Structure 1
Amino acid sequence: MLKRIFLILFIGQFVYIIVLKWVNPPITLTQLGSLFTGHGLKRDYVNYDEISPNLKLAVISSEDQLFADHSGFDWKSIEKAMAYNKRKPNRIRGASTISQQTAKNVLLWQGRGFIRKGLEVYFTFMIEKIWGKRRIMDVYLNVIEMGDGIFGAEKAAQIYFNKPAKNLTRREAAMIAACLPNPKVFSVKPPTRYIANRYPVIMRQMNNLDGDDDILTIITTGSSK
């Protein structure tokens, strides 16, 4: 009986990952948690071409500068984070790539347990192989929390700057990207001190990465499906 249940669950998750290559996730556990804990659920899914390349470049610059080059994991950053966390166990530092964050936010729940981290490794590997970089970025920018109860680039752009995500400027994109480490705490509008200090750094990083051909392939317009 247990083997049958395990087989059904394994086949089900595999099929779901394949479906999500073309279909946006109907809802995620993180979004449900936000709704049920009183933070709300504000979101609007849009096509990849309807999100400004500025925001795609901003999140790469802020969250995962090796996104175009790695296979889902930044092993050097993981080693550094593990060493840091061993020295300072009360100040945990993460090293999640955009691929890992996407796997966690779409297919799993928030947390740091060994079981969840193990599943995150598996799902990160799967979406890298099945979806590819552009689709990972597409889903990431549609499901990630970008404010308290605000999910996805389109809703964030509308709420913060009263414009569609495709029209975000570099400055606006950098401000949104700056909130991602803790979107419930770091307010984009009005900007907290952290946002005000962080977004100019992200803009400089954007300038440094702007000419990278591999990154341009990911962020420029064209279907990701």
Structure 2
Amino acid sequence: MRGRIWRRFLLSLFAAAVLVPLSLVLFYRVVPVPATPLMLLRLAEGYGLSHDWVSYDEIAPVMIRSVIAAEDAKFCQHHGFDWEAINDALDAAEGGGRLRGGSTISQQTAKNVFLWPGRSWVRKGLEAGFTVLIEALWPKRRILEVYLNSVEFGPGVYGVEAAARHHFKKPAAQLSAREAALLAAVLPNPIRFSASKPSAYVNRYAGRIQGRAGDIGPALMPPCPAQF
């Protein structure tokens, strides 16, 4: 009798572990993400919360190209994980270098939307699971839309619409190539760096992003129309 109860409990636990993430991913495939764990954490820390959701078509194509150039050049080719970048990061760490991030936009979206900040193996495992789900159930266009509406661009500033209005007093649809590159340049550390008051480093990095973004087709059509 006791063994049967334990089996039912474990089966229920397993079902919940599968169905809850699956339901969340399916829900956010069509529904705007109202807030993320990081937004709530930063709010509790006193950073405030500015977040305005916009559709993919309300984001300047140059912003989409810039964020791919800065964060994930192989976004259209991979299925959630850039194994070459991960191996390079591990090799650098083993060689005594600084540990670099190898996260794709898909991984960052999974982390930003569904999980808490941190570097534990448990969280990384959950991140990998959510990454597999969103790559399987969302088109690439939706991944970009959710990412650009959820990522942190400054203290208390989330999503490209709030960032464009905060830094440049205009909607995301009207961002110039330079403004888009500056916003993409602060993503590695949006608390430290500012797009509207860029340091020398941010200015240089934005210049490189702007150059690379020009190599990506208009609004990503090409290089990955099949996934859209």
TM-score normalised over the length of structure 2: 0.90
Q: Distance in 2 between matches of 1:121 and 1:171?
A: 33
Which of 148, 158, 169 is the matching residue for 1:162? 169
Matches within 5 A, 1:1-225: 1-88=9-96, 91-210=98-217, 213-215=221-223, 217=225
Q: Which has the larger radius of gyration?
A: 2
Q: Percent identity between the aligned chains?
A: 42
Instruction: Compare 174-183 and 30-39 and name the one that shifted more.
Output: 30-39
Gapped runs of 5+ residues in structure 1? Answer: 219-223
Q: Indicate conservation of the 8 Å contact 1:210/1:216, yes or no.
A: no
AA partner of residue 79 (structure 2): S
Residue 214 of structure 2 aligns to a residue whose secondary structure is: helix
AA partner of residue 95 (structure 1): G
Q: Indicate conservation of the 8 Å contact 1:68/1:214, yes or no.
A: no
Q: Indicate conservation of the 8 Å contact 1:154/1:164, yes or no.
A: yes
RMSD (Å), alpha carbons:
1.7
Q: Distance in 2 between matches of 1:65 and 1:2?
A: 42
Provide Cα deviations, 1:72-126, integer angstroms capped at 9, x if missing partner.
111101000001112236x221110000000000011111111111111111110
Q: Indicate conservation of the 8 Å contact 2:26/2:137, yes or no.
A: yes
Q: Indicate conservation of the 8 Å contact 2:37/2:115, yes or no.
A: yes
AA partner of residue 213 (structure 2): M
Give runs of ≥4 in structure 1 deviating > 6 Å.
none
AA partner of residue 76 (structure 1): E
TM-score normalised over the length of structure 1: 0.91
Gapped runs of 5+ residues in structure 2? Answer: 1-8
Q: How far off its partner does 1:27 sit?
A: 1.5
Q: Distance in 2 between matches of 1:64 and 1:147?
A: 20
